[in-house]
Structure 1
Amino acid sequence: MGRLSAISRIAIPLVGALVLSSCGTDDTPNDTLQIVQNPVAATAAVSPAVAIKPAGSVFAAPGVKALVTDETSKTLVVAVSDPPSLRIYDLAALDAPKTTVALPGPAERLTVSNSQVLAGVPDKSVLAKVTLPGGALETIPVAGQPSAGLADGDATLVAVRDRKVLEVLSENSGPKTITGQIYSADDVLNTGDGVVVLDKLRTALFSVDLTEGKIGEGLRAGDGAANAVTDDFGRVFVTDARAGALLAFSTTPLLLRQRYPVPGGVYGIAYDRARGLVWVTLTERNEVVGFDVRGGEPIEKHRFPTLRQPDSVTVDAHGGRVVVGSAIGEGIQVITP
């Protein structure tokens, strides 16, 4: 059998072992997702000096926190920390930003829907909403440290890290707070089949029942879940920065379907919906790698040298270009595979 079959034989029994149980028979908490006593979120491995010229083109930019593209407005949005702002680029002219939107603090995660970018600004307790391509800014106060936002119909889902909750903001029904057995609400994703929250402290995924207002079952996501994306088949892909792996989960039910080894400091992740490719960055090697994930197991299709500390990546789905951001201010890299 191929690699996937071998991995599946290992992974599937773990599913039952690592699903969260609320308590033991003696009413003592039985936390099967707990890895260490004092968990710490995984971070990107420190990159060495660049030894190979980065592929494609590199444009000047300060330290990049996050990247996202919007097909409708044909823009690239880059979150930088110094000064805290969003830089909006025309995808047809990436040499300089078309618009710069000042933020009250650094953004950590960007999502885009209906030509609006949502950016959690945890240090200032706000969710920033920016209209593309013009850059009109609206800030929404959120108690705590909002790390990520996601549009969901007429509602906005906000992962609030320190409060360990998912806030549901809706003009029609009013706000709702969803709580559960999570340690850190770091990201929220919608697969089309269900909503999940990524908990980096517990290095786990949790299902969310929006109708009932409950955090559901949890499942371990490797030894150091770092970043996650969804694909067109209802799956969630997670980079495991500590164990060096690409994980694939289904959400109905929440199951680990694949664990594919990716050495080299895997961290950033993006999905090319037009080509069925998952792109991941390798910060220990200053590389970006594209895997075809439409079949039984990931198949490497592309590998390119990058600039130093490539913590973030996104894809221009229309043209297939890959955009990589350096977290230490060495620029924005654009690669045409």
Structure 2
Amino acid sequence: MRVGKAISLMAAVLFVAGCADDPPAQPTSSSTPVPPAEPARAGAPAVPPAGRVTPLPSGPEGIVIGTSGMAAIAVRDPAAIVLVDASTGVVRQTIPAAGAARHLSLAGPDGPVLVPSETSDTLSEINLTDGATVSTTPGVGRQPHDAVRTADGTIVVTNERGGGVIFVRDGRVVASLPAGPPQPGGVAVVGRYAAVADVQGNGVWVYDGSTRRQVARAQIGTKLTHAIGLSGGLAAFADTDGDAVLIERIDPQVTEVARIESPGKPYGLAFDPQRGLLHVTLTATNQLQVIDLSEAASPRLLGVLPTVQQPNSVAVNPRSGAVLVTGSGPRGSLQIISPDLLPKG
């Protein structure tokens, strides 16, 4: 069904709570604590997950998949990066890490993987082919949460506990901008721009990687968490507290293109540019939304699939279009949804 700028899905919300391993939010200028947006704390799935499920080490979070078909998954207990065959779910290599990461991103189509470590305040680049560490940059803020590489080659790191962003080139910090979001979370890359979501509120700050300056700011949604770049100068933001996903044009001003209703604490985002599909995890209901974004201003909800418990992150295998979801519940798990199981609308 086509519904203009908004699509709606009715889903039951199980119950909502913050992530236990996140520190308390920073105080505002009035010293009143503002809790950050968090995924729901999901219960056990009510129905079996779609596709195949394989076990993972405890605490899986971010996942990325390169064009070679190798996936990298950040696990937190103990801290490591796990390289997994995205087709089979077989673990190929486990790389111990100095600190735990929550988000991962790719600096190129097949890596290296950008690993911002929240507990060691470092940014590592890891080769997807053999797990070798390309570089490690210390001092990238306090609890670096997410990182992207802009078109000019600058890596922009969100400084969650320090506020603002850190700019990295050639394995070293070259600049920082403390002004801006008080608790920056997810960041989307759109060409040379990095669009940062503030998890304490509904602000989006846009930075130019080439000039290392803030170039735009906008208020959108209710309270944001994750962000991801799309095609054609667009980005998607998970409005976790607003039960929606917001599609915005970044040029660098922030302009609303569409709003997708996503009841159930939307959190993880993945985009398949070859097929024009956006995948959204609903953490309160253990579900995955599949949305056709071939016409970004008129998104179409194709359907919803059951997932593993606590589906905090999702990625697409660019080789096959299969969708992989990490389950961050009591038992770490990886769900592989083959393309034939995806709803067609």
Q: Name the TM-score, length of structure 2 as normaliser.
A: 0.82
Which letter does structure 1 place at the counterpart of 2:63? L
Which letter does structure 2 place at the counterpart of 1:334? I
Would you say 1:54 and 2:52 are equivalent positions?
Answer: no
Identify, as 1 or 2, the structure richer in helix.
Answer: 1
Counterpart of 1:228 in structure 2 is 227
Contact between 1:274 and 1:318, CA under 8 Å: does it hold in 2? no
Structure 1 residue 231, shift from structure 2 partner: 0.7
Q: Which 10-residue stretch deviates more, 195-204 or 53-62?
A: 195-204
C-alpha separation between the residues in 2 aligned to 1:172 and 1:106? 19
Residues 266-286 of structure 1 deviation map (CA, whole Å, 9 limit, x = unaligned): 221111111111100112221
Look up the SS of the partner of 1:40 in the other structure.
coil
Counterpart of 1:103 in structure 2 is 97
Counterpart of 1:149 in structure 2 is 147
C-alpha separation between the residues in 1 aligned to 2:304 and 2:226? 19
Largest Rg, 1 or 2: 1
C-alpha separation between the residues in 1 aligned to 2:205 and 2:171? 26
Structure 1 residue 159, shift from structure 2 partner: 1.7
Would you say 1:139 and 2:136 are equivalent positions?
Answer: yes
- Identity across matched positions, percent: 24
C-alpha separation between the residues in 1 aligned to 2:6 and 2:71? 39
Look up the SS of the partner of 2:184 in the other structure.
coil
Look up the SS of the partner of 1:123 in the other structure.
coil
Written as runs of structure 1 = structure 2, the 5 A alignment for 1:1-337 is: 3-4=3-4, 38-61=33-56, 62-71=58-67, 73-94=68-89, 96-114=90-108, 115-137=111-133, 138-142=135-139, 143-152=141-150, 153-171=152-170, 175-192=174-191, 194-252=193-251, 253-295=253-295, 296-328=297-329, 329-336=331-338, 337=342
Q: Which 10-residue stretch deviates more, 135-144 or 76-85?
A: 135-144
Contact between 2:101 and 2:117, CA under 8 Å: does it hold in 1? yes
Gaps of 5+ in 1: 8-33
Q: Name the TM-score, length of structure 1 as normaliser.
A: 0.84
The number of equivalent residue pairs is 307
Gaps of 5+ in 2: 8-28
Structure 1 residue 69, shift from structure 2 partner: 0.6
Structure 1 residue 151, shift from structure 2 partner: 2.3
Contact between 1:229 and 1:270, CA under 8 Å: does it hold in 2? yes
Contact between 2:155 and 2:209, CA under 8 Å: does it hold in 1? no
C-alpha separation between the residues in 2 aligned to 1:49 and 1:181? 38
Contact between 1:180 and 1:216, CA under 8 Å: does it hold in 2? no
Structure 1 residue 6, shift from structure 2 partner: 7.9
C-alpha separation between the residues in 2 aligned to 1:67 and 1:194? 22
Structure 1 residue 314, shift from structure 2 partner: 0.7
Q: Which 10-residue stretch deviates more, 258-267 or 52-61?
A: 258-267
Contact between 1:221 and 1:238, CA under 8 Å: does it hold in 2? no
Structure 1 residue 232, shift from structure 2 partner: 1.0
C-alpha separation between the residues in 1 aligned to 2:3 and 2:301? 13
